[in-house]
Chain A
Amino acid sequence: MAEAYFPVGPGLGMEENFLSLDDILMSQEKLPGRAESALPRLAVLLGQGAGSAESIPEGSKLEIPLWLAKGLHDSKRRIISVELPKIFKEAWRTVFSADANVVDLHKMGPYYYGFGSQLLNFENPENPEIAQTILQATGGGSVLPVSDSVCSLQTFIARFRRIMDSSQNAYNEDTSALVARLDELERALFQVGQKGLNDFQCWEKGQASQITASSLVQNYGKRKLTEVDG
């Protein structure tokens, strides 16, 4: 069944894939922000007031999902300003650059890479955290505007070896401990590595040449034939 099912994968860039379920879940994650102007009659929705007429005052702190933040964010009109989540701030970036392997990206993420890439959409010069991120980059002597995705790129590279080794050496083992700390993107990658290993081992043992009934047919056979016909 898996071969005939083509799910839309995550976009992992500045833009998400519209129909990707992973990206939809990722864009649900909350982002700290601040209202730059008063938002009338919205206090109820954001859980900051009781009456439906109450407005969100200017400058109040908000926790808004990424999709809403993207929609409201505009460098000219300044409805809201967006701050970097804690794990993309400098303190955590230092931790990542020290040893990316020790970080539990599933707890931090679970869409660490996708979310980090999406954060690049809010390159707002008024936001001191992002300004500092860009400042760090020019200090680094790089021509490219190196921002927080450098850190996710380095994280990815640093963790690549371990994902590869564990996915391709663990044969017939319980892999739940191995994948517990992986981000969703890394988990997909881990699965691909495991599939390559398992397919090869099956072939080597001669199981690939045996024709077996598909799981669909096996389940189908559990019902009586008369029931199926009727």
Chain B
Amino acid sequence: MEPAEVEFLAEKELVTIVPNFSLDRIHLIGGDLGPFNPGLPVEVPVWLAINLKQRQKCRLIPPEWMDVGKLEEIRDQERKEDTFTPMPSPYYMELTKLLLNYASDNIPRADEIRTLVKDTWDTRMAKLRLSADSFVRQQEVHAKLDNLTLMEINTTGTFLTQALDHMNKLRTNLQPGESSHSQDF
């Protein structure tokens, strides 16, 4: 899976917009949206919000967690804990990137938010490497990673699973295979 495909999934998340046009309820295959009234907040998927924003048909309201104070708290918490802390959104990285790229005029202190989210990401990736290393060193065979987001898993996942695959083969080499006796001429 590529990052663009992860982003594709992230675009299904709902955000609140304030439209400046009126439109009846629309019936999309994944659910009904609207009705849209000027000045009244309405929840729409991110892909639609970005499209409407680009057509200058709405104002975007940032998610509750996209706030400098809250993000600072999350970053400090992340640095303090040894394990992964729960993220405000399963797609925090994607939403930050999308919303800041297309609607930074609607998000107060956009630059600081970008830095904070990037810091959190870096902390988590460093932590991920550290835990992958100890996972491999102790030759564990299972792990529980509830608080990792899809983008994080996807960035290092292939590498880690391939390394574990090699390791598993090297380790099962030691066990006498049952099949080794079957072909005795």
Contact = CB atoms under 8 A, between A and B. Distances in A.
Contacts of A35: none
A157 B137 contact: yes
Contacts of B158: 192, 195-196
Interface string B98-140: 0001000000000000000000000001000100110011010
A156 interface: yes
Interface residues of A, number: 40
B174 A196 contact: no
A193 B159 contact: yes
A14 interface: yes
B118 to A, nearest CB: 9
Contacts of A144: 174-175
A120 B173 contact: yes
Chain B interface residue number, banded: 35 or more
B32 interface: no
A24 interface: no
B17 to A, nearest CB: 21
A193 B155 CA distance: 8
B173 A168 contact: no
Interface stretch (B36-44, B61-69, B70-78, B162-170): B162-170
Contact of B166 (A12, A164, A196): A12
A145 B174 contact: yes
Contacts of B157: 196
Contact of A13 (B97, B151, B172, B176): B172
Contacts of B137: 157, 160
Contacts of A120: 173
A210 to B, nearest CB: 10
A160 B137 CA distance: 9
Interface string A190-202: 0011011101101
A193 B156 contact: yes
A165 interface: yes
B3 interface: yes
Contacts of B3: 199-200, 202-204, 208
A189 B170 contact: no
Contact of A168 (B129, B139, B185): B129
A206 B98 CA distance: 10
A125 to B, nearest CB: 14
Contacts of A150: 174
B4 interface: yes
A101 interface: no
B7 interface: yes
Contacts of A168: 125, 129, 156, 159
Shortest 3 CB-CB distances between A and B: which pairs? A203-B3, A193-B159, A153-B170
Interface of A: 12-14, 74, 113, 117, 120, 144-147, 149-150, 152-153, 156-157, 160-161, 163-165, 167-168, 185, 188-189, 192-193, 195-197, 199-200, 202-204, 206, 208-209
30 contacts: A12-B166, A14-B177, A113-B166, A117-B173, A120-B173, A144-B174, A146-B174, A149-B170, A153-B171, A153-B174, A156-B166, A156-B167, A156-B170, A157-B136, A157-B137, A157-B167, A160-B167, A161-B133, A164-B132, A164-B133, A164-B156, A164-B163, A168-B159, A192-B158, A192-B162, A196-B154, A196-B155, A202-B3, A203-B4, A204-B3
